[in-house]
A and B are shown apart, each in its own frame.
Chain A
């Protein structure tokens, strides 16, 4: 087994299937040079929750921006330079002391890519999709997001073309922070609605 000193990494069945399709499409001239690398780079570096955090921090720092964000999410997010696929029709939902919002996609895995990046694996897996609409109080508690019983929970199932972003409440005692420092407080989970700050 070790003859020749060459030890290729074990290849799983799914990797063999990916390689098979890639080879056949390449032979037909359908895979442009560098395309796969470009797709990888774009999704790894250009989009992510750091973009959404800037949107939230701006809304916390600038009441007029917040008004625009809640009135027309797509346009206000575009002011900060973010938009594109899965972010063309954005609605921002605001958490308050009395209302908690959370987003889900029961049919698939719709998610606001430009501001949050690609969805985490758990968001796409069956337990989250099945349970968040049926028993959100229980599931949020399980995930560490404990809400008083009198807080209204609004679940947003992104079943059509709109994609949602949760605007979390600004944490207390953050009055002296700069917008960049505020952005550093904003987590991905708080913008999905599975955590409060």
Chain B
């Protein structure tokens, strides 16, 4: 879906707040948030795709103004409510105030995943084009490569398609590829001598 987490190439952000080293957790609540997400995900068998989607569904302003571990906390609480472990009223009662959760899933549940793809359709060196589509659910196809042409530089293993696993118990497995895009083909102001690689599932691609 077209949401705020899909940040590649977006204008308007300033300097990177770089630090050469930092602790794994800046605050104790960050470690607790990480552990709580692991507990919720284990208790209700959340797939990687469903977890990531629960962050992506955050209200855009909240997403941009909260830290990584607040994303994890929001995901843990959202999944806990959606899977019936706790209620929103209980969370807000205990917290003594508002407890923002992620928005609803917009995509229908996937009942039929379709057949697995057991063999790579493309080889290293093949020219491919990324489908231009705007699914309402989870996808790992960044918007900045959609509709763009590139070259396969690596064929990797066969993996569960996140777009499917995020929306139900069905699974489909497909090869993934690393596709090289010339920055000049991605943006009219793409920098010279820059090649951006995105790793993409088979069904995101078509032959070029």
Report which A residues bind B (CB closer than 8 A).
13-25, 28, 30-31, 35-36, 39-40, 43-44, 48, 89, 91, 106-109, 117-118, 120-122, 124-131, 133-139, 142-143, 149-162, 187-189, 194
Contact = CB atoms under 8 A, between A and B. Distances in A.
A157 B193 contact: no
Contact of A14 (B22, B29, B35, B140): B29
Nearest to A163: B199
Contacts of A21: 36, 73, 76-77, 80, 86, 91, 94
Contact of A18 (B29, B64, B80): B29
Interface stretch (B10-18, B103-111, B112-120): B10-18
Interface in B53-105: 55, 64, 66-68, 70, 73, 76-77, 80, 85-86, 90-97, 99
A187 B20 contact: yes
Given A18-B36, A129-B7, A189 B20 contact: yes
Contact of B73 (A17, A39, A120, A155): A17
Interface string B28-48: 110111111011100100000
B196 interface: yes
Contact of A143 (B5, B16, B194): B16
Nearest to B44: A30
Given A121-B26, A125-B17, A136-B194, A157 B142 contact: yes
B196 A160 contact: no
Given A108-B5, A130-B9, A160-B156, A18 B16 contact: no
What 5 A-B pairs come out closest when comparing CB atoms?
A106-B8, A20-B94, A160-B199, A127-B13, A20-B95
Interface in B149-208: 154, 156-157, 159, 176, 178, 180, 186-187, 190-201
Given A18-B32, A151-B193, A106 B176 contact: no
**Which of B142, B144, B196 gathers the greatest number of chain A CB atoms within 10 Å?**
B196
A159 B201 CA distance: 10
A157 B95 contact: no
- Chain B: number of interface residues, binned into ranges: 35 or more
Contacts of B197: 154-157
Contacts of B77: 17, 21
A137 B107 CA distance: 38
| Most chain A CB atoms below 10 A, which of B23, B26, B66, B194 | B194
A121 B19 contact: yes
Nearest to B6: A107
Contact of A159 (B28, B64, B95, B142): B142
B196 A155 contact: yes
A51 to B, nearest CB: 13
Interface of B: 5-29, 31-36, 38-40, 43, 52, 55, 64, 66-68, 70, 73, 76-77, 80, 85-86, 90-97, 99, 140-142, 144, 154, 156-157, 159, 176, 178, 180, 186-187, 190-201
A24 B20 CA distance: 37
Nearest to B86: A24
Nearest to B76: A21
A45 B36 CA distance: 20
Contacts of B92: 20
Contacts of A22: 32, 36
Given A40-B31, A160-B140, A24 B91 contact: yes
A113 to B, nearest CB: 10
Given A120-B22, A187-B20, 17 more contacts: A19-B94, A24-B91, A28-B86, A40-B28, A40-B35, A130-B10, A130-B11, A134-B8, A134-B187, A137-B194, A156-B197, A159-B198, A160-B199, A160-B200, A161-B199, A162-B178, A188-B21
